[in-house]
Chains A and B, each alone.
Chain A
Amino acid sequence: MLRRWLRIISWVLVIGFCAFFIYKAEHFQIARNALGDGKEPDPQPVAKEIVDKLSNLAGYAKVSENDRLSLYFEPVTSSIAVSDKTTGATWMSASNITDEALGGSELLKNSVRAPLNLTYADISRPVQDPLYTNSITLPPKISKEDIDKGIRVHYDFDKLGISFAIEYTIEADRLEVYIPAADIKEKTSNLLVSIEILPNLGSGTDKDKGYMFYPDGSGAISYFKETHPQYKDRYSATVYGSEDVLKRTSQRVENAYLPVFGANKNGNGFVAYVTQGEFESKINYYPSGYTVNLNRVSGEFFYRRFYDAAIRRGEFSQRVEKDLMPVDHRLRYVFLPKDHSDYSEMAKAYRSYLIESGKLQKRIADGGKEIPAAINLFMGIREDNVLSKQFLKITTFEQAKKFLQELNTAGVNAMSVVLEGWMKDGLGDFPDSDQVSSELGGRAKLTDLTKYAKDHQIDIFLDFNNVDAFDRNLGFRKNIDVMKSPSKLALEDYYGFWYLLNAERAWTKFMGSQAKTLAGYDASGISFAEMGSIALADYNEYHPFTREGTVQKWLEMMKYSREQNGKVAVYGGNSYVLGTADRLMDIPLHDTGYVYSDEAVPFYQMVVHGYIPYSGDLPMNSHYDSRELFLKWVEYGSMPYYELTYAKPEEFRYTFYSDTLFSSSFDQWSPFLIQQYKELNKKLGHTWSQEIESHRIITRDVYETTYGDGTKVIVNYSSLPYKSTGVEVQPKDYIVLKQEG
């Protein structure tokens, strides 16, 4: 009897539960916020009368002042303005442009006057697209409080449930903008993605004179001009490069190596740089003709990233990270003196910041008078053959030594040599082994080579890659050892072949034994591949890292290796390596070449020259125009750069070396190398340890670089001679004007 009842009760319970769940499922409602179903009317944008008056200082109140700058604040829109007593310039967060000159829609018209643009995403929606707004179209509640040297503005976007605070302070010649992460609050399903701060400060109309500077590659500028087409794209570069390193398909895009940008407008200018939180920042440049006719440049701070979440195999949907990255961001605008506001003054201002903060170390001895030749020697590689993976000896250690001896006898005294593919499996089997290849001569011959180099003051770096990893070398630990995306899937290339090593794992291995083994070869240092050209956030379950965290781990390895060997070299020049590296490689002597860029400028080189030796990205022997590249070296103060082999390129035609090395044999190139080395050192050797004082564009295709001691170098790329008072430069030639005395 009892059992029967029990049975009935349990059946009732089961059916009841089922019914309950079905009911719940039928009536399930996604929590929606006000935006989604429009329960609340949108708040009205700030009235047009107020917006139109933003270019008039009368509506502003002075909130802080020092000897040079005054900071003004407008309470309705929270617009700010900085006026500079020495130059008479007023820099405003709202651009001063008429609507007809501007063109574009209402939202865009508001955005060019807004002190900040906001990107957020709604996680209650099935598709989490980025949503854009600005503080004029969607006015937040604004409250202000005075702090030392400035103000703190508190923004509360009721509608979105997002609130945060921004501090503006002035000091000497600079405006500091600080966004503390601790003050960011989110109440609804709307999550803050990014804040673009002061997007219109320094904006230039087509009629203004001047240009914008942005850190594309070596640096690029875009003039304010009336003749321009409509652009479909803008410059928007993640500082230190995009994170899509393995999915990159299109043309080479140069990194924003430095978190810096600047504006030069009607003789006045500023340079702005991110001093904190640069790993989660972007530099944007909107050319006139991109949606509206206004040139703007700005920094954008990120708190979350979008990622493709795997729904199931092969199907993805865009999601935004749930957790906010607690990164404090600090941006500094330095206002330059009148008529000293071009890009080379910007570079100087930024360089002095880097030196003061210890982020740039001087690695070239004062008085250094010899420009070293940068030579990369390609040694071993495996050729896939039907029966065996044949190890091709492209350059053995002995051949390398002989080659260095030859050069040395010919008068090439200073050299910075990088050995590639010296390890057991040759180049291209990542992560690299720390064991030396026996086919190339083994440990004995390698130490013989490094000893020879040490005796003759030649730097030899051993190329070492422990960032990239191939599927076949990862073994069973694949899922633990590699970097992952926020979706918890490994970062991999399309073919599931190429991965990246988790920084902690690489670190453990390196500190464990690799560093010691590598130091045992007695080279001047290790050359770390990739580490200066990519920075990645890693969502590995066991050792997660932010971008900054990954980079810190890498830097630790570099520093440790530097202690062991004395020097360290690195591929790529992201600004975080400037405090550690003794040699930079793969530093572009050009920008990406975006259609809206008018000139590439050697901004990066101006910051680094005389401090750290650097070489370009394309060697002389693969370049399409040897004269042009030589002139670039002269103009950009770069080391002469070669990628050489002992074997003739035909012998490794069927390996991937042939993608870049199609003309590389010693015999063919050493006469050129010697001649170019001698010419450079004869004319420019004394500039090696000096800073670049300034750089300017004299006319189309004619550039002038000035060094610390007043030496001027004028380079003429055009096919016509350049003549000016007392100066004549032949076509495709250069002259060096040394300061008298």
Chain B
Amino acid sequence: MRRLRLGFVILIVTMASIFTGTLTAFAVPALGYVIAPEGYRISVPLGYSVDRVLTGDYENGMLKNPEDLFIDSRDQVYIADTANNRVLKMDKFGKILKVFGTKEDKLNLMEPRGIFVEDDGDIYIADTGNNRIVHLSPEGQMIEKFVAPKSDLIDKDFPFMPTKLVLDRSGNMYVTSGNDYHGLLVIDGQNQFQGYIAPNKLKFNLKDYILRKYATKEQREALGKVVPPNHRNVTIDLNSGYLYTAIENTTIDEIKRFNFLGINTYPADKHYGEFTNRRGIITSPNVVDVSVDKDGIITTVDSNQRKVYQYDQEGNNLLVFGGNGDQTGFFQEPVSVANDSEGLLYVLDRARGEVQVFRANHFASLVHKGSRLYYDGRYEEALQPWREVVNIDSNYIFAHRGIGKALYKEQKWKDAMAEFRLGEDMGSYSNAFREYRHETLRHQFGWIALIIAVMGAALYYSIVALTAYSRKVLASPAGSGNPSIQNAILTIFAPREAFYRIQSAPRYMPVIVLVLGMLAARFFHIYFTSFHFNLTRPEFADFYYEVAQLIVPFFLFTASAWMITSIMDGESKFKQILAACSYGVIIPYIIGTVAQALMSHVLSRDELSIYNGISTVTYCWMGLCVFFLIMTMNDYTVGKTIWVIVISILTAIALLLVGILFYILMQHVIDFFKEVFLEVYISGF
């Protein structure tokens, strides 16, 4: 029940978040989750569990605010024990093998914050407090020191303060230095500065731009200088040569993958952290370290959320685990993460002064296997692990996508469509659908051609019949027969005449029917549009929002059109405008929306332009109707009509703003009374 309670709240909040765009946070205990591409959470079995915990020992003392962790090719663990001014070397079970920076070895380390160990065992320590990088032999002998490199290109505002570093195979060092936002410093083996690589750019921010454009000098200074976010951490994948960096204090592109030219090749403009809003407390992401295993699975730690996030090479979230807590498996201040050759994950917690070693559970191993094969393009081989993943968690979106891809390759279009549907992948669904359509068309061309011909003929003759009917109506005097239906048909075929007739005898009944029809058409669209076009699915749609977004503009425009026409020598009354608008706007809307929903079942996303074309045509038709309506009913000239319509739209916007303002004020008044009631209530008891 506890789980359900939390779960229920998650659901309520996630549903809300789909509309508001903010993400939520309620950890489901004993389970993990994965972030779907749309941002909501899917619960999965716990991905990793703690295998062991590495701490200091009694003899050498405990760790104090350690900041970095490195695992070498022989699975030995190096920890920068920052506040103790030393570096520890352990075996993978936590037995301390060597301490660098003791009183005896005279290395005099000062707050070391970064370590890198080469394959041959040579150790590089970012000796931050001494503003240098120390190169030690595996035994701990000092080999060389790298101090601040000299170059005019280095920004003088940022003295050399190495925090993290990596070496590539050719011996170049990539160093993060203090708050230097120009990028990573590249220093060669001769302590020469080779330039900055991989600078982060500041995103254009309109609000900031306006502020700075119009602020006085003093105000600008008070605002402070806006600098690009800097790399907090850097990791190298020695096989591929990619540099991976974690970027702190940013809300987008927290992870980057640079090739040797310094170009980010990781999918950009995506969020690799989570914004959470828990009981009104908003936590922003702060990704502090990144590590890559041999399969290319990227693991990051976030010291604000205190969680571990795993991504694949395409930037998809695979797993999330951890969280804030003083329990094993949770973190207080995770600062560093590393993989060993067995695939275990080591996470260093600065506040706790310990390393928790995580082992992937069955589910996580399957996900890794599937995703590795998937991104190698071996879809058929990936089928097996993905099927197992779906057996364990049938809501795991990527597994469905993987299965879909494999089925697609096997040309099982219909099955692939079903999997892509479960994997919520519109693009691939559409591709499978296109092939399916092609296949169906080929196999049953005769029948399909016949059906299309019959439907085309039926459509043609119904239009012909309706046109004939409308001519007949036009010929007969107004008032004979059922005027509501006559007007509706005339709106389509002879709009000006229809509006004359509506003006002469406006009625409320058709208005009500048509407005309800408009809502019905909208819900028809929501329910019956094919998956690969449907942006508003019935599970996620909000009734009040959907209704309001149709009703409010319609009535606002009607009201403002009436107001404007009545002050601009118009001749129409409100009832007339309302009735005419109902016909002129809603009938095209209904026809267009329903047609679009139906067409979505035969179009693929390659023909998106046709799909969108239907709505464009509909809106043009609606616009024309409004134009004729205003012109006919008020005897305006063309120019004046356009002018009146523009003013009406502006008025509608103004009315909307006033309405919102009024709503907010009313909310305050209501709040005030609630508060008074509460105070009386509290003091009453």
Contacts and interface: CB of A to CB of B under 8 A. Distances in A.
Interface in B521-535: 523, 526-527
A594 B279 contact: no
Interface string A352-391: 0000000000000000000000000000000111110000
B30 A617 contact: yes
Given A229-B62, A252-B30, A465 B43 contact: no
**Interface extent on B, as a size class?**
35 or more
Contacts of A597: 328
A383 B537 CA distance: 13
**Interface extent on A, as a size class?**
35 or more
A658 interface: yes
B685 A488 contact: yes
Nearest to A230: B62
Given A386-B543, A387-B523, A594-B327, A624 B8 contact: no
B329 interface: yes
B538 A386 contact: yes
A625 B538 CA distance: 35
Which of A227, A529, A586 has the most CB atoms of chain B within a 10 A radius of its CB? A227
Which of A248, A487, A656 has the most CB atoms of chain B within a 10 A radius of its CB? A656
Contacts of B62: 228-230
A339 interface: no
Contact of B4 (A309, A312, A384, A428): A428
A488 B7 contact: no
Interface in B467-492: none
Contact of A656 (B7, B44, B542, B681): B7
A232 B332 CA distance: 10
Given A227-B58, A249-B279, A387-B543, A662 B395 contact: yes
Contacts of A250: 27, 323-325
Contacts of A310: 678, 682
B323 A251 contact: yes
Contacts of B56: 227, 229
A124 interface: no
Given A386-B542, A571-B1, A622 B31 contact: yes
B212 to A, nearest CB: 35
B541 interface: yes
Interface stretch (A53-61, A407-415, A489-497, A687-695): A489-497
Nearest to A588: B30
B99 to A, nearest CB: 16
Contacts of A27: none
Contact of A533 (B1, B392, B395, B541): B1
A312 B678 CA distance: 8
B495 interface: no
Interface string A222-259: 00001111111100000000000001111110000000
Given A249-B26, A662-B395, A529 B1 contact: yes
Nearest to B329: A593
Contacts of A384: 15, 539
B394 A229 contact: no
Interface in A592-633: 592-595, 597, 617-618, 622-626
B10 A662 contact: no
Interface in A534-577: 541, 571-572
B112 interface: no
A530 B1 contact: yes
A228 B1 CA distance: 36
B203 interface: no
Contacts of A228: 55, 62
A37 interface: no
Given A594-B327, A659-B28, A487 B45 contact: no
Interface string A634-654: 000000000000001110011
A386 B541 contact: yes
B564 interface: no
Contacts of A660: 3-4, 7, 28, 31, 43
A313 B678 contact: yes
A468 interface: yes
Main secondary structure of the interface of A (DSSP, over half): loop
A465 B278 CA distance: 26
Contact of B539 (A385, A427, A428): A385
Contacts of B395: 649-650, 653, 658, 662
Contacts of A617: 3, 30
A86 interface: no
A334 B269 CA distance: 65
A654 B422 contact: no
Which of A229, A309, A310, A655 has the most CB atoms of chain B within a 10 A radius of its CB? A229
Nearest to B44: A662
Nearest to A665: B394
Interface string A312-341: 110000000000000000000000000000
Given A252-B30, A624-B47, A624-B49, A662 B4 contact: no
Contacts of B28: 659-660
A668 interface: yes
Contact of A229 (B7, B55, B540): B55
A229 B352 contact: yes
B655 interface: no
B327 A592 contact: yes
Given A251-B325, A251-B330, A252-B2, A663 B394 contact: yes
A222 B352 CA distance: 17
Contacts of A592: 327
Contacts of B682: 309-310, 487-489
Which of B12, B55, B327, B354 has the most CB atoms of chain A within a 10 A radius of its CB? B327
B326 A595 contact: yes
A468 B5 contact: yes
B678 A493 contact: no
Contacts of A489: 682
A662 B685 contact: no
B671 interface: yes
Contacts of A383: 539
A649 B49 CA distance: 25
A662 B1 contact: no
Nearest to B522: A386
Contacts of B31: 622, 659-660
Interface in A656-679: 656, 658-660, 662-663, 668
Interface of B: 1-13, 15, 26-31, 42-47, 49, 55-58, 62-63, 278-280, 323-330, 332, 351-354, 361-363, 391-396, 422, 523, 526-527, 538-543, 546, 671, 674-675, 678-679, 681-682, 685
Given A251-B327, A659-B11, 5 more contacts: A247-B279, A533-B1, A649-B394, A658-B395, A662-B44
11 contacts: A226-B58, A227-B55, A229-B353, A232-B326, A232-B332, A313-B675, A428-B4, A488-B685, A593-B329, A624-B49, A649-B394
The 8 A-B pairs of least Cβ separation, nearest first, read A252-B29, A659-B7, A386-B541, A624-B45, A656-B11, A494-B279, A624-B361, A662-B393
